[in-house]
Structure 1
Amino acid sequence: MTRELVYTGFISLDGVVDSPGGAAEGHRSGGWVMDTEFVPEAFSLKGEELADTTALLFGRRSYAAFAPVWRDSDDHAAYKDLPKYVVSAGLSEDALIAGWGPTTILRSADDIAKLKQTDGGAIYIHGSAELARRLSDADLIDRYNLLMFPVLLGAGKSLFARSDRDKQTLRLRDSATYSNGVTKLVYEVAH
């Protein structure tokens, strides 16, 4: 039995996951999630994920962005003591954020494949578009939890690679559409 690796994120209709929370993240249309009318039930998936998460996985840049904020966030208090993994070839131990629970640096996709073979439950990837593309191409992602927003951004970091690869089949596990136009899409990867 392997641990499930789940990518979770906000995505535009044209597949962009770049800068949903603000312009400071780099995209000229950053903050596009905040521009959509807030409807609480559209974000219920995030609460479900909090209960299901047993570990967190980040790329180096997403870790640097999330860790100092989530460490002190009441909304993310459940994550504080969970194991965290950062995938980076060059990050050093002294660059890890203090006070946010146990954090391990992984150096490769092989390290992630080994992590999936350990005991425990679901491992969630937040942000980390480049890492998600590499892991998808390596057939390591088991599920996508997406909240699709009714916006076209045209450019930005895409969740999915544009390179030629073998077809990957997804099975719809859950979906819902909300009054603000947001659509919940939960897909399992058929391995």
Structure 2
Amino acid sequence: MGQLIITEFTTLDGVVDSPGGGPHPHAGWTFQQVEFDETAYEIKDREQQEAAAMLMGRVSYEEFAPVWPSMEEFAEYNAMPKYVVSSTLENPAWHNTSVLRSLDEVARLKETVDGTILVHGSATLAKGLAAADLVDRYHLLIFPVLLGAGRRLFDDTADTLRKLDLVEHQAYANGVVKAVYDVAR
């Protein structure tokens, strides 16, 4: 059975919107507001090496698909199976990508994948996965930035009370904090 991991860059006030670019007025806040420290990104390399599949929502798919296939640093992601949860996407162009139409299909995917299923970005999907109790772990890189507004990973739109167990953490010289939490069951 697969382990579903939500992996996010987040601000201290919980905003996950547009960390590298996008529609947010402060898009790119991960690199524009915080000094780069390569050691803070070690978890990203580890995720790519350990992942068996990638899961994303349609919006993240539309942001990643035109860019990631040409990036050598994402070779493992480009080769692995990718799944997009969408009711509207037809015929995805990114190599080895399938469309799932519901969270029930995601639950069935977890039963068939042997290994880690990573969810990058996709704040709306992540909230739905949490509400459906499909998330097993959170990988968070928390940046010392306050944006005040934007899509959040955790908000008050759903009652998703879950106890989380901190299993790994580290603070870096640039103020970024890595926090890895398992969902307690």
Band the TM-score falls in, shorter-chain normalisation: over 0.9
158-167 or 62-71: bigger deviation: 158-167
TM-score (norm 2): 0.96
2:10·2:143 contact (CA, 8 Å) conserved in 1?
Answer: yes
Structure 1 consecutive aligned stretches of length 4 or more whose deviation exceeds 6 Å: none
Q: CA RMSD in A?
A: 1.1
Q: Tell me the distance in 2 between the aligned counterparts of 1:125 and 1:48.
A: 14
Q: 1:53 to 1:166 in 2, by over 3 A?
A: closer
Any idea what the Cα deviations from partners look like across 1:50-81, whole Å, max 9, x if unmatched? 11111000100100110121101011011122
Alpha-carbon shift at residue 163 of structure 1 (Å): 3.0
**Pairing of 1:25-44 with structure 2 (within 5 A):** 25-35=22-32, 36-44=34-42
Aligned to 2:82: 84
Q: Tell me the distance in 1 between the aligned counterparts of 2:158 and 2:124.
A: 16
Q: Tell me the distance in 2 between the aligned counterparts of 1:147 and 1:45.
A: 9
Any gaps of 5 or more consecutive residues in structure 1? none
Aligned pair partner of 1:131 in 112, 125, 128: 125
Q: 1:9 to 1:164 in 2, by over 3 A?
A: closer
Aligned to 1:58: 56
Q: Tell me the distance in 1 between the aligned counterparts of 2:14 and 2:64.
A: 21
Corresponding letter in the other structure for 2:26:
S
Asked if 1:173 corresponds to 2:167, the answer is yes
Q: 1:80 to 1:163 in 2, by over 3 A?
A: closer
Alpha-carbon shift at residue 9 of structure 1 (Å): 1.2
Any idea what the Cα deviations from partners look like across 1:80-132, whole Å, max 9, x if unmatched? 22000000011112xx12xx431110000100000001141100001100000
TM-score (norm 1): 0.93
Percent identity of equivalent pairs: 48
Aligned to 1:8: 7
Q: 1:164 to 1:7 in 2, by over 3 A?
A: closer
Aligned to 1:72: 70
Any gaps of 5 or more consecutive residues in structure 2? none
Corresponding letter in the other structure for 1:101:
H
Q: 1:34 to 1:117 in 2, by over 3 A?
A: same
Q: 1:138 to 1:73 in 2, by over 3 A?
A: same
What is the DSSP-based 3-state SS (H/G/I as helix, E as strand, rest coil) of the residue aligned with 2:66? Answer: helix
2:130·2:160 contact (CA, 8 Å) conserved in 1?
Answer: no
Aligned to 1:103: 97
